[in-house]
Amino acid sequence: MSRLVSPEGTALLIGGKLVPGGAGVFDTVDPATERVLGHAADADAADLDAAVAAARAAFDDTDWPRDPAFRARCLRQLRDALRGHLEELREITIAEAGAPRMLTGGPQLEAPIGDLGWFADLAESYCWDTDLGAARPMGVRSGRTLHREPIGVVGAITPWNFPHQINLAKLGPALAAGATVVLKPAPETPWCAAYIGAIIATETDIPAGVVDIVTSSDHGLGARLVEDPRVDMISFTGSTRTGRAVMASAAATVKKVFLELGGKSACIVLDDADIAAASRYAAFSVCVHAGQGCALTTRLLVPRAAHDEAVAAAAEAMAAVVPGDPNEAGTICGPLISERQRARVERYLDIARAEGGTVVTGGGRPAGRDRGYFVEPTLIAGLPNGSTVAQEEIFGPVLVVIPHDGDADAVRLANDSRYGLSGAVWGADPDRIRTVVRGLRIGTVGVNGGIWYSADAPFGGYKQSGIGRELGVAGFEEYLQTKLVATAE
């Protein structure tokens, strides 16, 4: 694998310079083989302090926040530079994140790189100033203008499951809006972020300090970033548990918080749908990237009369998915990210058995995989919607089948969750589908296999799945402030 930086350890990006980590380096591991790939720069508290200071100075002392045309040019420059290193980035993503090669042609790499162009276009076309016309409050004729301005310094904290998609879904709109960013990526996937930092530093005109990338093995640096009064906004993607802590810590400085958190999404199959086809689709989708996606539908709600048919179809589909080497073109279910994550999934399978559930297929480690953090795609039946595995996010290739007693009951079961991120509906009658969709308290819905992911489509959830939206105009506007100017006439 060719490298932009020394194989002895990637670098932090602070103030426009690639620098070593104050705490030395830490290992990054291939989850498919458990082999140490190499080392990443390990930032300490002083590095984070320097990164925040650089981002603050870049926002306060340069024209970056006031020049959307320049920002658009820099975003297109970054997109093109990343495309120039596409194959190198692809190999990093497969090796470090365990992402199946097939996904790197879409949401794991190529799609989010392309999305940068959409945000560049938006920076140029967005209506930054709006004339509200004249009014006479308290008898004073005043002309009013609404200004939209960048929010300031953004602390972006990201997870490991879709590192490029999530890193760039924060960088793209934030930079288009005119914010500056300190990115703290997950310690499991430091190279994915660090290599983008190296490209920014060496192949773009993005000014020093506008993007600062701090890789670290220390989860505590994320908490320091949240607490720092120089940071105006936190954009966090991760677990609901950590999101609650972020929200509480951010309250001390009353900074804005964007949260994209967990999910326990339901796939609702209506009784006029093709039961077998819908069940197979749901089973297949939960196997993609070993189920490590917050918006995957991990509860399959099927008509009670068709329960056995749905279980048989889903089991057949899941049994046909063999976990394998993510580097191979045909693999859709690679490894889990770490031994810790595999232990978490296996603990939930033990809980399902203890609560009386039936493991219809899967439930263990795949034969012939002595190395790597693999788990078999697993189908669970015989448990109610209130069971642990039907209520808690597992983040593995595990699907729970639950019977429903009609459309209204299906909506009730789907909404009976502290999460509200995503979902799916399968059926034949458009009016029934419309009624079901409107009853769901979730942020995105796929109907009959519809795909909602796109640069122009806002993504986010209800309830404990988060606050705010990512991508689309709504995601871009998360990084803006509103200023009203009234001028006496």
| Segment 364-394, tens digit of pLDDT | 999 999 999 999 999 999 999 999 999 999 9
Q: How far is CA 327 from CA 31, 59, 102, 104, in A?
A: 12, 41, 9, 10
Per-residue model confidence (pLDDT) at position 478: 98
State how beta strands 265-269 and 423-426 pair.
parallel
Mean pLDDT of the chain: 96
pLDDT at 1 over 60: no
Q: Are 112 and 168 in contact (CB under 8 A)?
A: yes
Share above pLDDT 70 across residues of the chain, in percent, rounded to a whole number: 98
Q: Are 192 and 4 in contact (CB under 8 A)?
A: no
Report which of 165, 426, 485, 487 is spatially closest to residue 294, judged by C-alpha positions. 165
Report which of 10, 12, 18, 13 is spatially closest to residue 39, judged by C-alpha positions. 10
Largest CA-CA distance found in the chain, in angstroms, rounded: 81
Report which of 400, 313, 309, 310 is spatially closest to residue 351, judged by C-alpha positions. 400
> For 185-296, where are the E strands, in sequence order?
211-213, 233-237, 256-260, 265-269
| Segment 319-350, tens digit of pLDDT | 999 999 999 999 999 999 999 999 999 999 99
Residues that are catalytic: 260
Neighbour count for residue 330 (Cβ, 10 Å): 10
Per-residue model confidence (pLDDT) at position 2: 39
Domains and CATH numbers, the chain: 12-261+466-488 (3.40.605.10), 266-447 (3.40.309.10)
Neighbour count for residue 449 (Cβ, 10 Å): 11
**Which runs of consecutive H residues, i.e. helices, occur in 262-391?**
275-285, 307-319, 339-354, 388-391
Mean pLDDT, residues 159-182 taken together: 98
Window from 3-17, 18-32, 431-445 with minimum mean pLDDT: 3-17
481 DSSP β-pair partners: 149
Q: Return phi, psi of residue 463, to 5°.
A: 50, -135
| Segment 391-411, tens digit of pLDDT | 999 999 999 999 999 999 999
- For residue 469, the SS3 value is coil
- For residue 222, the SS3 value is helix
Task: Specify the residue for token string 């795949």.
Answer: 366
Q: How far apart are CA 301 and CA 135, in angstroms?
A: 54
Task: Specify the residue for token string 């057949």.
Answer: 316
Task: Specify the residue for token string 């306060």.
Answer: 60
Which of the four pLDDT bands, split at 50, 70 and 90, describes residue 9?
Answer: low
Structure tokens at 77: 């420059």
| Segment 84-121, tens digit of pLDDT | 999 999 999 999 999 999 999 999 999 999 999 999 99
Indicate the Cα dihedral angle 17, 72, 232, 193, nearest 10°.
-50
Q: Return phi, psi of residue 67, to 5°.
A: -130, 80
pLDDT at 6 over 60: no
Per-residue model confidence (pLDDT) at position 10: 83
| Segment 35-82, tens digit of pLDDT | 999 999 999 999 999 999 999 999 999 999 999 999 999 999 999 999
Per-residue model confidence (pLDDT) at position 8: 46
How many residues appear in the chain? 489
Report which of 302, 316, 300, 249 is spatially closest to residue 273, judged by C-alpha positions. 302
pLDDT at 5 over 80: no
* Amino acid letter, residue 126: Y
Structure tokens at 5: 């930086």
Neighbour count for residue 224 (Cβ, 10 Å): 17
